[in-house]
Chains A and B, each alone.
Chain A
Amino acid sequence: MQHYSMNLKLNVWRQKNSIDAGHFETYDVNDISSEMSFLEMIDVLNERMIAEGKSPIAFDHDCREGICGMCSMVIDGRPHGPWEGTTTCQLHMRAFKDGDVITVEPFRANAFPVVKDLMVNRGAFDRIIQAGGYVSVNTGNAVDGNSIPVEKDKADDAFAAASCIGCGACVAACKNASAMLFVSAKVSHLALLPQGEPEKRQRVKSMIAQMDKEGFGSCTNTYACEAECPKEISVLNIARLNREYLHSSLSGDFE
Chain B
Amino acid sequence: MLDSKIPAGTLDDKWTKYKGSVKLVNPANKRKLEVIIVGTGLAGSSAAASLGEMGYKVKAFCFQDSPRRAHSIAAQGGINAAKNYQNDGDSVYRLFYDTIKGGDYRSREANVHRLAEVSTNIIDQCVAQGVPFAREYGGLLSNRSFGGTQVQRTFYAAGQTGQQLLIGAYQALERQVALGTVEMFARHEMVELVIIDGKARGIIARNLVTGELERHFAHAVLLCTGGYGNVFYLSTNAMGSNVTAAWKAHKKGAYFANPCFTQIHPTCIPVSGDHQSKLTLMSESLRNDGRIWVPVKQGDTRNPNDIPESERDYYLERRYPAFGNLVPRDVASRAAKERCDAGYGVGSSKQAVYLDYAAAIQRYGKAEVSKNNLGNISAEEITQLGRDVVKEKYGNLFTMYEKITGENPYNVPMRIYPAVHYTMGGLWVDYELKTTIDGLYALGEANFSDHGANRLGASALMQGLADGYFVIPYTLGNYLSDDIGTGLIPTDHPAFVEAEHTASERINKLMSIKGTKTVESFHKRLGKIIWNECGMARSEAGLKKAIKDLADLKQEFWSDVRIPGEINEMNPELDKAGRVADFIELGQLMCLDALERNESCGGHFREEYQTPDGEALRDDTNYMYVAAWENKPDGWNLHKENLVYEIVKPSQRSYK
Given contacts A146-B85, A193-B132, contact A64 B69 (CB under 8 A): no
Q: Is the CB of A92 within 8 A of B406?
A: yes
Q: Which of B132, B239, B518 contacts A62 (CB under 8 A)?
A: B239
Q: Is the CB of A17 within 8 A of B570?
A: yes
Q: B residues within 8 A CB of A189?
A: 130, 132
Q: Which of B66, B67, B127, B278 contacts A195 (CB under 8 A)?
A: B127
Q: Is the CB of B403 within 8 A of A150?
A: no
> How far in angstroms is the closest Cβ of chain A from B238?
4
Q: Interface code A40-73, partner B: CB below 8 Å = 1, 0 otherwise?
A: 1001100101110111101011111111111000
A143 CA to B53 CA, complexed, in Å: 18
Q: Is the CB of B69 within 8 A of A139?
A: no
Q: Interface code B102-139, partner A: CB below 8 Å = 1, 0 otherwise?
A: 00000000000000000001011111111011111111
Chain A residue nearest to B66 in the complex (CB) = A126
Interface size on B, residues (CB 8 A): 84
A17 CA to B135 CA, complexed, in Å: 47
| A129 at interface, CB cutoff 8 A | yes
Q: Interface code B4-25, partner A: CB below 8 Å = 1, 0 otherwise?
A: 0000000000000000000000
| B276 at interface, CB cutoff 8 A | yes
Beta-carbon contacts under 8 Å, A68-104 to B: 68-70, 83, 85-86, 90-92, 94
Given contacts A67-B74, A130-B175, contact A1 B407 (CB under 8 A): yes
Chain B residue nearest to A1 in the complex (CB) = B406
A37 CA to B404 CA, complexed, in Å: 8
Q: B residues within 8 A CB of A158?
A: 130, 132
> How far in angstroms is the closest Cβ of chain A from B380?
24
Q: Which of A70, A94, A129 contacts B406 (CB under 8 A)?
A: A94
Q: A residues within 8 A CB of B73?
A: 63, 67-69
* Stretch in B157-165, B198-206, B436-444, B453-461 with 4+ CB within 8 Å of A: B157-165
Q: Is the CB of B238 within 8 A of A44?
A: no
Q: Interface code A131-147, partner B: CB below 8 Å = 1, 0 otherwise?
A: 10111111111111110
A131 CA to B174 CA, complexed, in Å: 9
| B337 at interface, CB cutoff 8 A | no
Q: Is the CB of A121 within 8 A of B124?
A: no
A46 CA to B157 CA, complexed, in Å: 37
| A39 at interface, CB cutoff 8 A | yes
Q: Is the CB of A149 within 8 A of B273?
A: no
Q: Is the CB of B124 within 8 A of A142?
A: yes
| A123 at interface, CB cutoff 8 A | yes
| B68 at interface, CB cutoff 8 A | yes
Q: Interface code B570-584, partner A: CB below 8 Å = 1, 0 otherwise?
A: 101100000000000
User: Which residues of A approach B to under 8 Å, CB–CB?
Assistant: 1, 16-17, 33, 35-37, 39-40, 43-44, 47, 49-51, 53-56, 58, 60-70, 83, 85-86, 90-92, 94, 115-116, 119, 121-123, 125-126, 129-131, 133-146, 148-152, 155, 158-159, 162-163, 165-166, 189-190, 193, 195-196
19 new A-B contacts at CB < 8 Å, known A68-B74, A149-B135, A149-B139: A40-B277, A49-B564, A50-B518, A50-B562, A62-B64, A64-B278, A69-B69, A83-B403, A119-B65, A130-B175, A134-B130, A139-B473, A140-B469, A140-B470, A144-B124, A146-B83, A146-B140, A158-B130, A162-B164
